[in-house]
């Protein structure tokens, strides 16, 4: 891990790897090996905290050692967005330190309040149109648009949390999304966050000692959701580009909710029916290493969803504003459906981790 970090980011990368190693041994925030259905080793839930510490430390260092002024000071929009991100991360941190400290309903209501307040204070985050017939009509009604976008943002954060079940899956999608945001905007914030998440991805894939936990999935989910809806609202991205980039958590979340309702179970109860669970079972048959099978699961899914989209973006298949990305999204949806049908088997509804 240190060698890869050194080649990628020099001493700064090595320092982050050492910090994450130390945090992975902290007694609080530890999960048993069976908590998430895939992990077969005891691991730490403090990955999100590690990313937060690295991000805040670097930003503070830049403020003290350079003329850099954070966006939260320059623009009220940035202040509101990062306040919402910070509050979502705190909700997750409370659960990482003390599981079930907050009830699922309280967490859900809290996120609705946070994003509802953000979108009410900053209506520029709400797209006026997205090029989808019917949806554009609803977005023309301000109150309806506010409700729809609030529900979408909360649902996306929960989708990120639900998908955090394999090494490199959600971190890989996050790194892909942050790469696009950094290339589009080129700001310090996206660059530092991309650095922190890239180092976490390396640590997560190789060691398996760390995963994002609720702080990481809630916080990074809020980051990606905020940037995505704003990018679509101001015309930097098409809705179909964002759909292709973030296809796996969205498709898997909606599929899981539908499956649980069809089976008569609570839609908020975790189970082993996700695509990453099915793929992991197959990989374990041919890969003996517990960590490698886990990491290969995450890499395959993140690479074939967000990774393909970033590859197309870098090779300029279409502009990021093009609706032709619908082709990529539909192909991803078709592959997901075929693989799920091929791997489908009866799954246990017994809860494996905390509700979303």
Compute the distance between CA of residue 339 and CA of residue 331 in angstroms, rounded to an integer: 12
Compute the distance between CA of residue 134 and CA of residue 62 in angstroms, rounded to an integer: 46
258 inside domain: yes
307 inside domain: yes
348 inside domain: no
pTM, full prediction = 0.88
356 inside domain: no
Count of beta carbons in the 10 Å neighbourhood of residue 295:
23
Contact 31, 44 (CB under 8 A): yes
Q: Which domain holds residue 256?
A: 2-343
Compute the distance between CA of residue 10 and CA of residue 195 in angstroms, rounded to an integer: 12
354 inside domain: no
User: Based on the structure, what is the number of domains in the chain?
Assistant: 1
Compute the distance between CA of residue 158 and CA of residue 108 in angstroms, rounded to an integer: 9
Amino acid 279: pLDDT: 85
Contact 36, 165 (CB under 8 A): yes
Ordered alpha helix ranges (H), the chain: 2-9, 11-24, 47-65, 71-74, 76-97, 104-121, 135-139, 142-163, 169-185, 188-207, 213-233, 239-245, 247-262, 275-284, 290-302, 308-314, 325-343
109 inside domain: yes
Compute the distance between CA of residue 91 and CA of residue 101 in angstroms, rounded to an integer: 10
**pLDDT, tens digit (0-9, with 9 covering 90-100), for 65-110:** 888 888 888 888 999 999 999 999 999 998 888 877 788 888 899 9
Q: Which residues pair with 44 in a beta bridge?
A: 30, 210
Contact 248, 303 (CB under 8 A): no
350 inside domain: no
123 inside domain: yes
Residue 171 confidence class, pLDDT cut points 50, 70, 90: very high
Lowest mean pLDDT among 25-34, 174-183, 279-288, 319-328: 25-34
CB-based contacts of 338, cutoff 8 Å, min separation 6: none
pLDDT at 339 over 90: no
pLDDT at 323 over 60: yes
Count of beta carbons in the 10 Å neighbourhood of residue 356:
24
Structure tokens at 25: 């041994």
Compute the distance between CA of residue 2 and CA of residue 92 in angstroms, rounded to an integer: 28
Query: What is the 8-class DSSP label of residue 44?
Result: E
Amino acid 87: pLDDT: 95
Compute the distance between CA of residue 265 and CA of residue 280 in angstroms, rounded to an integer: 23
CA 266 from chain center: how many Å? 23
């Amino acid at each position: 891990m240190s060698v890869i970090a050194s080649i990628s980011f020099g001493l700064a990368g090595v320092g982050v790897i050492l910090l994450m190693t130390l945090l992975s041994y902290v007694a609080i925030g530890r999960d048993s090996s069976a908590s998430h259905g895939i992990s077969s080793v005891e691991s730490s839930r403090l990955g999100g905290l590690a990313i937060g510490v690295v991000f805040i430390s670097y930003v503070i260092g830049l403020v003290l050692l350079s003329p850099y002024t954070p966006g939260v000071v320059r623009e009220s929009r940035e202040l509101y967005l990062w306040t919402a991100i910070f509050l979502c991360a705190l909700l997750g941190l409370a659960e990482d330190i003390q599981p079930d400290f907050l009830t699922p309903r309280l967490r859900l209501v809290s996120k609705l309040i946070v994003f509802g307040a953000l979108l009410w204070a900053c209506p520029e985050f709400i797209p006026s149109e997205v090029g989808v017939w019917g949806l554009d009509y609803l977005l023309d009604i301000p109150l309806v648009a506010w409700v729809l976008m609030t529900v979408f943002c909360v649902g996306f954060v929960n989708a990120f949390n639900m998908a955090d079940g394999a090494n490199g899956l959600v971190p890989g999608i996050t790194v892909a999304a942050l790469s696009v945001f950094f290339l589009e905007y080129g700001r310090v914030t996206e660059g530092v966050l991309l650095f922190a998440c890239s180092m976490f991805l390396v640590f997560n894939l190789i060691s398996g000692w760390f995963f994002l936990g609720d702080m990481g999935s809630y916080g990074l989910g809020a980051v990606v959701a905020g940037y995505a809806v704003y990018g679509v609202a101001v015309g930097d991205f098409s809705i179909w580009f964002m759909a292709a980039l973030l296809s796996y958590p969205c498709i898997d979340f909606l599929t899981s909710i539908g499956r649980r309702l069809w089976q008569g179970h609570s839609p908020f109860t975790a189970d082993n029916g996700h695509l990453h669970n099915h793929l992991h079972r197959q990989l374990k048959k041919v890969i003996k290493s517990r960590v490698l099978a886990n990491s290969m699961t995450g890499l395959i899914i993140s690479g074939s969803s967000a990774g393909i989209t970033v590859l197309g973006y870098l090779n300029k298949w279409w502009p990021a504003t093009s609706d032709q990305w619908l082709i990529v999204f539909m192909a991803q949806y078709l592959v997901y459906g075929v693989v799920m049908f091929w791997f489908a088997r009866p799954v246990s509804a017994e809860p494996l981790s905390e509700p979303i």
